[in-house]
Structure 1
Amino acid sequence: MEKFSNAFSRIVAKFEKVPGPIRRWARSKALGSYVKFAGTAGIDFEDISTAQVVCHIRNVAKNQNHIKGVHAAAMALLAETATGFAVGMNLPDDKLPLLKSMKVEYKKRAVGDLKAVAALTAEQIAQVRTLEKGDVTVPVTVTDESGNEPIQCEMIWAWIPKKRG
């Protein structure tokens, strides 16, 4: 696939020069300042590329519900963040990403921290990069520390041209 550059990919590329031990932390802080709610929840970006996004949320007090697990809204935020950045890494700078639909089914109690993995197919990437406007269903898998999938999600992201002026 050809080299692609947009605002998100340029931010991510800047952190490739940061020393390994602090790269992930610094990249997560920068991306969290771009999407404030993700930053507030402390979403950690393990891996971010045009093909796949892997991120985590910790089971800490600020993210917990009344039974000391990751709050339902924080679980949805994790899935939304992973899928949104998967689209965002491929969207031309003159387009605006919009979450069109979020379906989250809570299947079982989550154990500990959570990990989300979102990926686009080559065909989806081509659509996001070339169509003036459209939408794509972005698959995401959310697992907890025990390896279970406490939630199942379907996220549909749309994009439209940014308004000029």
Structure 2
Amino acid sequence: MSTNNPLRHFVNKVNQYPQWLSRFLITQLFRHKVKLAGTTGIEVLFTDGKTATYRQKNRRKAQNHIGSVHAAAMALLAESCTGFIVGINLPGDKLPLIKTMNLNYVKRATGDMTAVATLTDAQIELMQTTDKGEVNVQVTVTDATGIEPLICEMIWAWVPKKR
């Protein structure tokens, strides 16, 4: 039997608040848990349990030598967004682990970056009912002009917290 997930409980509770407050609270919690995300300024814009939308502003701390969002910051954005959606869908007694991150930088990025990660009902069911497993989380990363400068494949695994 699966155990309650405190992160999912928190997200469900704060999603009942006005959107601006919900975004702020989830972002603060996420930045507290993932310190590098706080340094780069990643923001949680939306989550409903099946989808998560994150933003990385093109700020100085996250820029490369040509003034756009650094490749590592884009990778962190995609990894954070997919990891969050996996994390809130796992039972509380499971540990999410990134297994594979395949990133192909195909175009130059302009401005702020946005990542949208989604899980299917079948993937969520699999995470809820199996002790160990993996899922390929669909994520799309776009820049301020709407182009997709980064093509990502993120495979997340999960294992029991205690062996």
Q: Is this a same-fold pair by TM over 0.5?
A: yes
What TM-score comes out, normalization by structure 2 length? 0.92
Q: Structure 1 residues 139 and 12, CA, compared in 2 at 3 Å: closer, same or farther?
A: same
- 1:30 maps to amino acid: L
Aligned to 1:75: 74
Structure 2 segments unaligned to the other structure (5+ residues): none
The code of the aligned residue for 1:89 comes to I
* Secondary structure of the structure 2 residue equivalent to 1:38: helix
The residue identity in structure 2 corresponding to 1:144 is D
Range with greater deviation from structure 2 (41-50 or 67-76): 41-50
| Contact 1:49–1:86 (CA under 8 A) maintained in structure 2 | no
Structure 1 residues 138 and 44 mapped into 2: Cα distance closer, same or farther (>3 Å)? same
Where in structure 2 are the equivalents of 1:108-123 lying within 5 Å?
Answer: 108-123=107-122
Task: Give % identity.
Answer: 50
Deviation of the 1:11 alpha carbon = 2.1
| SS of equivalent residue, structure 1 residue 88 | helix
Amino acid at match of 2:74: M
- 1:49/1:89 contact within 8 Å kept: no
* Aligned match of 2:138: 139
Q: Deviations over 1:87-114 (max 9, x none)?
A: 1111011000000000000001100000
**Counterpart residue number, 1:29:** 28
Question: What do you get for the CA RMSD once the two structures are aligned?
Answer: 1.6
Aligned partners of 1:63 and 1:51: how far apart in 2? Answer: 28
CA gap of 1:19–1:109, structure 2 versus 1, over 3 A, is same
How far 1:18 moved relative to its partner?
A: 4.4
Q: Structure 1 pair 39/14, CA: closer, same or farther in 2 (3 Å)?
A: farther
Q: Structure 1 length as normaliser, TM-score?
A: 0.91
Supply the AA of the counterpart residue of 1:33.
H
Gaps of 5+ in 1: none
Structure 1 residue 138: deviation in Å?
0.4
Q: For residue 157 of structure 2, what is the amino acid of its counterpart?
A: A
